[in-house]
Amino acid sequence: IMLLFLADPENIDRTSLIFIVFTAAYFLVSSHVYRHIVLKLGWLGKPILSVIPKVLFSAFLLGIAWYIFEMSLSYAVNTLNAEQDFKAFQIMVFVIGAMAWYLLWAAVYFLYHYVERTNESLKSEAAIYEIELNQLKSQLNPHFIFNALNSIRALIDEDPVKSKTAITQLSNILRNSLIVNRSRLVDLKDELKTVRDYLALESIRFEERLKVALDIDPDAGSSQVPPLMIQTLVENSIKHGISRLTYGGEIRILAKIDDIGCLLVEIRNTGQISPEAYPSSTGYGLENTRRRLDLLYGPRSSFFIGNEDDNTVLTKIVIPQSLVYESIDH
């Protein structure tokens, strides 16, 4: 009837027009309700094979509902032919035809959201790799390498054995930085090896001006963390905290599993930071840290940096031990 109306609207009578209007209105309302049910039951997030039977059954029910509506409408406008319209074959043809329309609607709707979800996954994947590469570039800045090499050079004549150890520590940091883009997560114990090597090299430069204390819960060693994230925060603590103090200061690192099973890492350093200055400071690498945590874990992770007291800066991150983000390659 709708095709006839589009082809020759002048020859459509009043009864046919009523059918067209009410049928179109019914389909719009029923498809809207169907969409609400799909969203409420979370079908869009389930595997497609488990959703197909549900969609087929719901489309069949909608087909029956449409048949009942059409028969009720026919009765209301006195066009119901009980002998013809209530035959089993006629009912089956009508229900299957209506079911086909709903299946077509469902296919388009699910395909649209699948494409949207795929696009979002691609964007997240690209953003994660971009941030990790930017993080890699910011790790081994030329100043750190220059200072480390100068410290080792000065140490060679004074303590050759210690200088060899320092070279090994620097090579470990370089190696870990070069392979950072191969792993999305690493064990905390491996991340802390890099942190210890970094602090050992900085201790050569700062000597007694740098004091280090680590409090690591053994149960937290196997926890997963983004590679070089903690090392970056420790480096920032020294660069923007300890190095600016005439008498130096202390770096304290605490790591443990909290009451809900998340990894809690706290880094304290002597010094003070300006609350209005550090959020926009690229030196702290805060934006990269926040962005990586957000992309990997969403709102379940947290990041904080601020003055704990008059002489201490606290950097705290909470890392869930399961990823929200899943690679599109899996």
pLDDT digits (tens, 9 = 90+) for 65-107: 888 888 888 888 777 777 777 888 888 888 888 888 888 888 8
DSSP letters of 280-316? G-GGGTHHHHHHHHHHHHGGG-EEEEEEEETTEEEEE
Contact 58/30 with Cβ under 8 angstroms? no
Hunting for tokens 């210890």 — which residue is that? 196
Grouping H, G, I as helix, E, B as strand and the rest as coil, residue 313 is strand
pLDDT, greater one: 37 or 17: 37
List CB contacts of 313: < 8 A, sequence separation 6 or more: 237, 241, 268, 269, 270, 271, 272, 273, 305, 306, 307
Provide the token pair at 7. 């082809």
Q: How far apart, in Å, do the first and last CA atoms of the chain sit?
A: 47
Q: Is the pLDDT of residue 124 over 90?
A: no
Q: Which ranges of 12-159 would DSSP assign to H, the alpha helix?
A: 14-40, 48-76, 82-85, 88-139, 142-158
Query: d(Cα 273, Cα 265) in Å, to the nearest integer?
Result: 19
**Helix or strand holding residue 306 (H, E):** strand 302-309
Which residue, among 230, 222, 218, 226, has the nearest Cα to 294 in the 3D structure? Answer: 226
pLDDT, greater one: 176 or 29: 29
Q: Is the pLDDT of residue 50 over 60?
A: yes
285 φ, ψ to 5°? Answer: 60, 25
Quick one: pLDDT at residue 228? 81
Which of 70-74, 200-204, 325-329 has the lowest average pLDDT? Answer: 325-329
Mean pLDDT to the nearest integer, 268-296 = 69
Q: Is the pLDDT of residue 3 over 50?
A: no
* pLDDT digit string, tens, across residues 128-160: 666 655 554 455 556 667 777 887 887 787 788
Quick one: pLDDT at residue 142? 64
Quick one: pLDDT at residue 182? 63
- Which amino acid does the sequence have at 32? H
- Which amino acid does the sequence have at 202? E
Strand partners, 212: 251
* pLDDT digit string, tens, across residues 232-261: 888 888 888 888 888 889 999 999 998 888
Query: d(Cα 268, Cα 307) in Å, to the nearest integer?
Result: 9
Which residue, among 201, 189, 185, has the nearest Cα to 147 in the 3D structure? Answer: 201
Mean pLDDT to the nearest integer, 269-298 = 69
83 φ, ψ to 5°? Answer: -65, -40
